[in-house]
Amino acid sequence: MFAEFPGNIYALSSDTVKHHQELKEELGLEFTILSDEKLKLIQEAGMKDPQAHKSLRGFAILDKDGKIIAAQEVNPFGIEMANIITYANEKLAK
């Protein structure tokens, strides 16, 4: 699914690096998981949960300069992964 994507894919959450390492091993994930415990990038993407100190489930597309060009809440996230990759490809092609 990720092989045809013309960019890099990262997961981002407010969890700790240790938790991400455990999750990556447990699920056999192919992409890097980044920790944003202070919710800085999550806040910039509009993906901070207004009710708690955590991120919403969703995705953001950043250009090569790190500018956020799209962000969307998606729940349940895993079920929508193929659609997210297609959407991201379309956004990056513009």
**Residue 19 within a domain:** yes
Q: Is residue 3 part of a domain?
A: no
- Read off the amino acid at residue 82: A
Please report the pLDDT score of residue 50 as a whole number: 93
pLDDT along the chain (94 residues), means of 10: 70 87 83 88 91 87 83 71 76 75
Give the pLDDT score at 77. Answer: 57
pLDDT value, residue 78? 62
Which amino acid is residue 47, in one-letter code? M
Parent domain of 89:
10-93
Would 77 be classed as within a structural domain? yes
Confidence at residue 39, expressed as pLDDT on a 0 to 100 scale = 93
Instruction: Find, among 64, 40, 25, the residue nearest to 13 by Cα.
Output: 40
The 8-class DSSP code of residue 56 comes to: P
In a domain, 1, yes or no: no
The dihedral formed by the CA atoms of 69, 34, 40 and 91, expressed in degrees to the nearest 10 = 10
Nearest to 81 by CA among 59, 56, 55, 48: 59
Q: What is the CATH number of the domain that holds 86?
A: 3.40.30.10
Q: Does residue 50 fall inside a structural domain?
A: yes
Residue at 43 is within a domain:
yes
* 31 found inside a domain: yes
The whole-number pLDDT of residue 2 equals 63
Q: Does the residue 72 lie in any domain?
A: yes
Give the pLDDT score at 1. Answer: 56
How many domains does the chain divide into?
Answer: 1
